[in-house]
Chain A
Amino acid sequence: MNLNGIEHVALPRNRAELPEWSPGTAILAGGTWIFSEPQPSVTHLIDLTGFNWPPITVDNQGLHIAATCTIATLNRFAAPADWLAADLIQPSCEALLGSFKIWNAATVGGNICLALPAGPMTALCSALNGVGTIWQPNGTTRELPIIELVTGDHQTSLHPGEILRSILLPTAALHQRTAWRRMSLTPLGRSAALLIGTQDAKGSFTLTITAATPRPIRFEFPEPPAAETLANAIEAEITTTGLWFNDIHGAPDWRRHIALNFAEEIRQELTA
């Protein structure tokens, strides 16, 4: 929709051209969320697409995904054969509520910074130990695991004026075996529970719960846990703190039930 309160759109081509951040400024990546709701408090947009960041880079550290990489581009990425975890990319893209036309515009960074509980890029990058590179307004750069970047429903730990530049999925994480589960109230609707399990060659096991909770929650075990151990960990971390998410996309008691079932299915799949 028209954002009638916007007075200026900046299109910097390099970091030096970044305008000074001020209240009322919003960062524009794909635009698929910003342009989907009235933004009465926003007067200035900084459009990141002018940077022309290469969307995907592979090096010995792993997979570098520019914040402006579109979902469509990520979905087309052909991973090296031994990156078993790359199997998560397509279902994660498909978990986006938006259509494939949204994929042509929506970005990986935008999906993470929007911080929806059901954000599938948040799920993917949290589960695969993703680390965000963040540009700070004073010209410096910091790094932050994605699991710590998204802190709640529409909440992040980004400070005003900070820009997510890219996400690194480390090679070690990409070599892991994975399992993926998703549930929604409607066949292709918004995720009500999206769980990803990983297991590395040494046997260490992680489970990342998203969509059923306001932020991604990760459970790490040096070796595959027993069924009861995993369930107890989930109940202690989420149920006792009342963290099961409650919105129109699913009741919290149902989300708990689904997540516990999926967790056990994932545990069995990865330990089989």
Chain B
Amino acid sequence: MNLNGQLIAAQPAPGQCLRTFLREQGCFGVKKGCDAGDCGACTVWVDGEPVHSCLTPAHRAAGRDITTIEGLGTDAVPHSMQSKFLAAQGFQCGFCTAGMIMTAASLNQAQLAELPRALKGNLCRCTGYRAITDAIAGLTHVEAPNGHDFGRSIAAPAGPNIVTGTSSFTLDVAMQGLLHMKLLRSPHAHARVLSIDTSAALAIPGIRAVLTHHDAPTKRFSTARHEIVTDDPADTRVLDDVMRFAGQRVAAVIAETERAAEQGVQALRVEYEILSAILDPEGSPHTLAKLEGGIGNLAQGLAEADATYEAEFTTQRTQHVALETHAAIGWLDEAGRLCLRSSTQTPFLTRRALADLFDLPPEMVQVEAGRVGGGFGGKQEMLVEDIVALAVRRCGAPVQLELTREEQFATTTTRHPMRMRVKLGATKDGTLTAIGLDVLSNTGAYGNHAEAVLFHACSESVAIYRCPNKQVSGRVFTTNIVPAGAFRGYGLSQTCFAIESAMDELARKLGSDPFEFRRRNMIGPTDPMISFEPAPPDVQIGSYGLDQCVNAVEQSLAACATNAPKGWFQGQGMAISMTDTVPPNGHHSCVTLSRAEDGLFDLAVGTSEFGNGTSTVHTQIAASVLGISPANIRLRQSNTDLVEHDTGAYGSTGTVVAGTATLRAAEAMHARIDAGETGPIATHGVYDGSRRSVSFNVQGFRVAVHPSTGELRILHSVHAADAGRVANPMQCRGQVEGGVAQALGSALYEELRINAEGKVTNPTLRTYHIPTCADTPRTEVFFADTHDSTGPFGAKSMSEAPFNPVAPAIANAIRDATGHRFLATPITVDRIWRAMQPNLKGSHTS
């Protein structure tokens, strides 16, 4: 074949797809998002026609011209579509970008005129598609640096590499002698492994090792990564003899090829003793954590109310669906150190966990992340690194484990499904007298993040309201189901759905406008924040823009001129949310800044980049302090060799914690330069995340619902965010739009289904529908004009938070349109239809 203008003589294996063959030729820009033709990240051209290379039999490429992103254009001579994606910054994590550009660059005028349809085979989980469609339309959003660049839309430093497919994600490295791992997974939700016969597997040529629970450390750990190790129960073994969910690892086969490893897995013979499985948290005897508290007296508050509302809400199991699946490569370096390159949000915490697990001194373990292809909390876990490390130590050779999309869906982590009982009361004038919340959370088979998510779920969602009587209780149980874990919003999206839906209903009962009702009852800038307990003393309202956000959404909806088609129902809805800017119990960041001999500055930070845009913000902060262009800052990141410690990129801390450390290093540098120091200078900045503020988000929708079919159309979407002083408006807008899109997925479409045997039944993107370009409305985005007293240059975090008010806002709009209150998500079209049937029992109450 002719690959990007070069003749290739290599022959593919029988049954090999073009995607992996091209990667073997070094074309790492050809990505695996799904390996099933759904996501488009592997798009290449065959004789000029775009195809999904994961579905293209490699043998058919013989004699053809193949063009990959690497052959489309280079940094020096880019294709016009690559330049457009740079100018509009049509990406966040960048994992989908090569496929997106290869698709966009192939479109004719008719397809461009119907872009949502043309892009239906290209999924992006980060952007919400607005930045991508703007890029294809040729708009420019990037601003040129002027030396005062904090607060301006400065381009991401990785941009040129992203659009040319040369940005190095986890597996985009060539390594000599790389071995491949495949995992045998439990078919049973609860079982004891009685025996594993490995003899047939070991006899297969090319197999180097089979690992079972006999080979694994007896020590237990939590897959969750937190600064404080004891935040999560140590309940997980690398390989266990008890299976607690269908899909748990039973054994690992390491072989010279993926093919041999897969054959090895099929050759393993396992005897199980099947144990009784618990699938419903109501029946689970295993309480992991509970909380109870509040102020005043709920019963008294309800008694004083003129109107009350009480209902039980549920939220489903959803998945992050980062485009890059979990993956890691491990090896031993010349010094004998255990080295891991992994798709992780927490390289330093993962190093600490591995050192502890294998009884190694921390300096004998190195962990790095390349560019990470999306996180959303899913990579605040150690889900592959432990077993790769075990295999590297056993084989003494480099080992790679790449999860399939099916494994990602069925065996990693999900959002915590919750059942929430809400009781509200208010007086005639619209003043809240009572808030009751009782939460039952199902954490699945292991306790990673179980307690922390429960506590967070029960905090800001209640504390945003001023009310004399609050009673909050919560419990989290284990069940024999794929574990839940950290997920964007960290519990708040679930309780926000329940409380904001209930507030809407209560306002209706009082005949009050939902905006007016919120204004009357939401906290002001000096109110205490109280839920099951008062907010910890390190949390303060460092800036307050909630009022601005509520007003902006109200005005935008009022100004909207788009109305439902004739004969359709129309409705509007809104919801509010609050989020702490930093997680509790300390979040640490260390930064090193050095002036090099060439006059440029090297900035080393610990935090990962997965599309959150913090790399850009670091360069903006340092450059602003030093009064130079961000282009003069060389950034290195996410490697445990670079700095002393970094808690990681979770809890939306990239800008406010790591950014503060960068600010301090830059200020020290500036002082020393001012003092006339010459030659190389190195400064350090550290920050412990000890001062925390709150950010606010308000979402509004106008919708149309077809009375006969239940079809839903979003006529208007508006989001207002209080992010303090916005570090990079282009990027922050992208975070908001991406959060809205992802949340619309869980509000309207997404649901990981579990059958009676406890197995995930829809582990593919064809059966687990995430929003495409055609599903995602353009969202108007407003930023409040505030300046925070805790964050760098007045900034607050804004990554997770936009997700939280979206589901209740759309549920409230659908309620307004149809008269039916949805107590569960996802609100699918068939469920909307059923709720509207007069003689059928729908999922609504009144």
Contact = CB atoms under 8 A, between A and B. Distances in A.
A100 B43 CA distance: 12
Contact of B56 (A7, A31, A40, A189): A31
A105 interface: yes
Interface string B725-761: 0000000000000000000000001000100000000
A187 B60 CA distance: 33
A115 B486 CA distance: 39
Interface in A95-113: 97-102, 104-105
B830 A250 contact: yes
A172 interface: no
Interface string B42-80: 010010011110111101100000000000000000000
A45 interface: yes
Interface string B400-427: 0000101000000000000000000000
A9 B121 contact: no
Interface string B536-573: 00000000000000000000000000000000000000
A219 interface: no
A186 interface: yes
B36 A1 contact: yes
B57 A47 contact: yes
Nearest to A253: B834
A32 interface: yes
Contact of B15 (A45, A101, A188, A261): A45
Most buried by A among B16, B50, B406, B774: B16
Interface string A172-194: 00000000000101111110100
A143 interface: no
A148 interface: no
A32 B55 contact: yes
A262 B769 CA distance: 25
B833 A257 contact: yes
User: How many interface residues does chain B have, given as a range?
Assistant: 35 or more
A238 B831 CA distance: 21
A258 B709 contact: yes
Contacts of A61: none
Contacts of B829: 185-186, 254
A245 B709 CA distance: 17
Contact of A102 (B20, B121, B753): B121
Interface in A23-80: 28, 30-32, 35-38, 40, 45, 47, 49, 72
Given A3-B15, A4-B15, A251-B834, A104 B50 contact: yes
A9 B60 CA distance: 11
A4 B830 contact: no
Interface in B1-33: 13-17, 19-20
A254 B834 contact: yes
Contact of B17 (A2, A101, A190): A2
Given A102-B37, A185-B828, A35 B17 contact: yes
A254 B17 contact: no
B120 interface: yes
A36 B830 CA distance: 28
B55 A105 contact: yes
A248 to B, nearest CB: 5
A160 interface: no
Given A100-B111, A258-B709, A35 B769 contact: no
A9 B710 CA distance: 47
Contacts of B774: 186-188
B37 A9 contact: no
Interface string A224-259: 000000000000000000000000101101110110
A189 B120 CA distance: 9
A188 B51 CA distance: 19
A235 B17 CA distance: 45
B767 A187 contact: no
Contacts of A159: none
A248 B222 CA distance: 33
A4 B54 contact: no
B55 A261 contact: no
A222 interface: no
Contacts of B35: 1, 36
A135 to B, nearest CB: 21
Interface string A1-29: 11111111101000000000000000010
Contact of B59 (A5, A9, A37): A9
B734 to A, nearest CB: 23
A200 interface: no
A5 B121 CA distance: 27
B55 A36 contact: yes
Contacts of B19: 1
Contacts of B711: 183
Which of A9, A37, A38, A45 has the most CB atoms of chain B within a 10 A radius of its CB? A9
Contact of B753 (A9, A28, A248, A253): A248
Contacts of A31: 55-57, 60
Q: Which of B38, B46, B103, B830 neighbours the largest number of chain A CB atoms within 10 Å of its CB?
A: B830
Q: Which of B56, B116, B263 is the most central at the interface, judged by chain A CB atoms within 10 Å of its CB?
A: B56
A101 B14 contact: no
A36 B16 contact: no
Given A99-B121, A187-B775, A188-B116, A36 B834 contact: no
B52 A102 contact: yes
Contacts of B833: 254, 257
Interface string B165-177: 0000000000000
A220 interface: no
B40 interface: yes
A100 B56 contact: no
B37 A2 contact: no
A28 B749 contact: no
A190 B766 contact: yes
A94 interface: yes
A35 B54 contact: yes
B266 interface: yes
Contacts of A38: 406
Contact of A28 (B36, B57, B775, B834): B57
B14 A8 contact: yes
B37 A36 contact: yes
Contact of A4 (B57, B117, B258, B766): B258
Contacts of A104: 46, 49-51
B259 interface: yes
Nearest to B35: A1
B240 interface: no
A189 B830 CA distance: 14
Contacts of B834: 251, 253-254
Contact of A101 (B16, B40, B57, B709): B40
A1 B54 contact: yes
B55 A186 contact: no
A6 B830 contact: no
13 contacts: A1-B17, A3-B16, A4-B258, A9-B59, A11-B59, A35-B17, A94-B117, A100-B118, A100-B121, A101-B40, A104-B50, A185-B769, A254-B830
Given A4-B263, A183-B711, A257-B709, 4 more contacts: A31-B55, A40-B266, A47-B60, A105-B55
The 4 closest A-B pairs by CB, nearest first: A99-B121, A6-B15, A3-B15, A254-B830
Interface of B: 13-17, 19-20, 35-38, 40, 43, 46, 49-52, 54-57, 59-60, 103, 111, 116-122, 258-259, 262-263, 266, 404, 406, 708-711, 749, 753, 762, 764, 766-767, 769, 772, 774-775, 828-831, 833-834, 840
Interface of A: 1-9, 11, 28, 30-32, 35-38, 40, 45, 47, 49, 72, 94, 97-102, 104-105, 183, 185-190, 192, 248, 250-251, 253-255, 257-258, 261
